[in-house]
Chain A
């Protein structure tokens, strides 16, 4: 029987090395939760800015300067939310790699990054192109769809479960195409709520047990 034990160990070894050498597995669930909370906060602030704008709009009608200001505020907010979410995501994953004593910059991470960046950059250029023609209704669906496709692409190089998050984002984006004008709700749902749910599920599955045992 010890022989069988040996072979089982050999198979476990093979599996571990195959996974570790081709995928970045230290993605922390808390990264998702952190990014989700920041996105949700951003959504509420955006809602507040929009309400403010519409109060003036009702009172004095359309004013070009107000609209310019609104556009500027929302763009700045978007950039800030993006940067903060990125930092939060990076921080928790960095902490996890420290704890596991694996390096954050190995070839699997580089591949993961590239597989994310290409669809995201395409999405960003596409969205800025739409804004250039004042087409803002499809910004939220485009964000969700391109982000979903980026995640789907990246799922080959990290935890496989991220695929389900990707499918949800894509479906949400596609539904949003048929409900323009509700973009902010979909955006908050996709980038806020879904991230938090995904993060919590992943955290329970991979991270919480580790903390107990250490």
Chain B
């Protein structure tokens, strides 16, 4: 039998990273502040998780300005979308097997 957890991605095991990916998969781009409010974490915590996802090439960063304030937005990459969908499928399969 196929191993149900082979597609479970270690990178998405954190709740914060899962949250980031969920928000980015349904939006073209999301700003840092919107992510912070959605997931309910501190700046530093969010930034470090974003960094991990960026290093894995799952998300892209765009730095811009709104007036004088910096406005950083994030969007999902093709690789990120694929990995996240596989992760969701794996989650579903696992739950099905357990029940």
Q: Do A and B actually bind?
A: yes
Q: Are B15 and A10 in contact (CB under 8 A)?
A: yes
Chain B residues with Cβ under 8 A from A10's Cβ? Answer: 15, 18, 91
Chain A residues with Cβ under 8 A from B95's Cβ? Answer: 4, 7-8, 11
Chain A residues with Cβ under 8 A from B37's Cβ? Answer: 103, 106
Interface string of A1-14 (1 = CB under 8 A from B): 10110011011011
CA–CA, A20 and B19, complex, Å = 11
Check: A208 CB closer than 8 A to any chain B CB: no
CA–CA, A14 and B22, complex, Å = 5
**Main secondary structure on B side of the interface with A:** helix
Q: Given A18-B26, A21-B38, do A4 and B98 touch, yes or no (CB 8 Å)?
A: yes
CA–CA, A21 and B22, complex, Å = 9
Q: Are A7 and B18 in contact (CB under 8 A)?
A: no
Q: Given A17-B39, A107-B34, do A4 and B22 touch, yes or no (CB 8 Å)?
A: no
A-binding residues in B (CB < 8 A): 15, 18-19, 21-23, 25-27, 30-31, 34, 37-39, 88, 91-92, 94-95, 98-99
B-binding residues in A (CB < 8 A): 1, 3-4, 7-8, 10-11, 13-15, 17-18, 20-22, 103, 106-107
